[in-house]
């Protein structure tokens, strides 16, 4: 587990569910989560939350509704009575408990996409839950009485959002990947052009660190280099 602390004392803990990150944000006496990990890691997640001494979770912001981010939303809603917040464009996937299949960007991902779209594998399913939808506007503030805003960053999926904490750190879901050093384009995504314009908006927040749903933190220079290398 890693922890970041902002200038206003907001703490961000990263729980690594093997290949997917869950972020626990605490401050001003409140706690909320960004993403929930895959359902196979439910007990692990509960154990890590206990380790952190978390007994109340006000809300869960889902960066999007793929199974590895929304897998434990129903569990957290039931156990903690947390509000589950998701962009309206993806609320229906949460209600059904089924991931949309994103388009493959890399060759490998395109093969995976073909396989996934044909057979609707069990792994894309998770427990459905009734969401408390986020408003459809581009930026919402403030959240949970904390210096936290949520912004729409579509491209990986139509309703992808990022959570900006204290104008220092932003939790970006799958808008960026932190698995391969210096390469942040996610292997799957619906619209590469939209992903790049979301990166530009994320840079405009002034944040110095971008924490993705998979892998390690990404720096501003890395985001800038990726925009340059992928722009026509």
**How many CB atoms lie under 10 A from the CB of residue 8?**
13
85 CB-near residues (< 8 Å, 6+ apart): 59, 60, 61, 62, 131, 132, 133, 134, 150
- Output 71 or 213, the one with its CB closest to Zn ion: 213
Report the residue from 39, 144, 174, 176 that binds Zn ion according to the rule CB under 5 A: 174
Q: Which stretch binds Zn ion (CB under 5 A): 63-71, 77-85, 129-137, 202-210?
A: 63-71
Q: How far is the CB of 206 from Zn ion (least distance, A)?
A: 25
Nearest to 154 by CA among 169, 141, 138: 138
The smaller minimum CB distance to Zn ion, of residues 147 and 189, is found at: 189
Cβ burial, residue 150 (10 Å; 0-12/13-18/19+): buried
Residues 179-187: contacts with CB within 8 Å, 24+ apart? 179/214, 179/215, 179/216, 180/215, 182/222, 182/225, 182/226, 183/226, 184/212, 184/218, 184/222, 184/223, 184/226, 185/105, 185/226, 185/230, 186/105, 186/156, 187/104, 187/105, 187/106, 187/108, 187/109
- Rounded least distance, CB 24 to Zn ion, Å: 18
Structure tokens, 81: 């009575």
Binding residues for Zn ion, rule CB under 5 A, total 4
Residue 35 makes contact with Zn ion by CB under 5 A: no
Write the DSSP symbol of residue 122.
Answer: G
Minimum CB–partner distance for residue 160 and Zn ion (Å):
8
Residue 2, helix vs strand vs coil: strand
Q: Tell me whether residue 59 or residue 155 sits nearer to Zn ion (CB atom).
A: 155
Q: Which of residues 123-162 bind Zn ion (CB under 5 A)?
A: none
Q: Which of 66, 116, 194, 215 contacts Zn ion by CB under 5 A?
A: 66
> Which part of the chain contacts Zn ion (CB under 5 A), choosing from 3-11, 51-59, 117-125, 166-174?
166-174
Closer CB to Zn ion, 160 or 226, in the complex: 160
**Closest CB 153 distance from Zn ion, rounded Å:** 12
Nearer to Zn ion (CB atom), residue 68 or residue 166: 68
- Contacting Zn ion within 178-217 (CB under 5 A): 213
CA-based nearest residue to 164, from 138, 190, 194, 183:
138
Query: Between 59 and 213, whose beta carbon lies closer to Zn ion?
Result: 213
What is the closest distance, in whole angstroms, from the C-beta atom of residue 28 to Zn ion in the complex? 29
Residue placing its CB nearer to Zn ion in the complex, 105 or 146: 105
- Interacting residue ranges for Zn ion, rule: CB under 5 A: 66, 68, 174, 213
């Amino acid at each position: 587990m890693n922890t970041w602390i902002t200038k206003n004392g907001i703490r961000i803990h990263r729980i690594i569910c093997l290949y997917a990150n869950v972020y626990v944000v605490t401050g001003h006496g409140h706690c909320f989560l960004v993403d929930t990990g895959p359902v196979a890691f439910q007990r692990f997640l509960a154990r890590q939350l206990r380790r952190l001494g978390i007994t109340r979770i006000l809300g869960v912001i889902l960066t999007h509704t793929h199974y590895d981010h929304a897998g434990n939303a129903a569990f957290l809603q039931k156990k903690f009575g947390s509000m589950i917040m998701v962009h309206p464009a993806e609320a229906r996937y949460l209600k059904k408990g089924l991931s949309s299949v994103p388009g493959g960007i890399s060759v490998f991902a395109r093969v995976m996409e073909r396989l996934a779209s044909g057979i609707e594998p069990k792994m894309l399913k998770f427990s459905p839950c009734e969401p408390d939808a986020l408003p459809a506007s581009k930026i919402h503030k403030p959240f949970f009485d904390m210096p936290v805003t949520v912004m729409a960053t579509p491209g990986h999926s139509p309703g992808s959002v990022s959570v900006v904490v204290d104008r220092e750190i932003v939790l970006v879901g799958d808008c960026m990947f932190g698995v391969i050093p210096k390469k942040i384009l996610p292997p799957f995504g619906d619209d590469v052009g939209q992903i790049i314009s979301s990166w530009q908006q994320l840079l405009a927040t002034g944040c110095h660190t971008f924490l993705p749903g998979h892998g390690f933190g990404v720096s501003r220079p890395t985001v800038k280099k990726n925009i340059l290398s992928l722009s026509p």
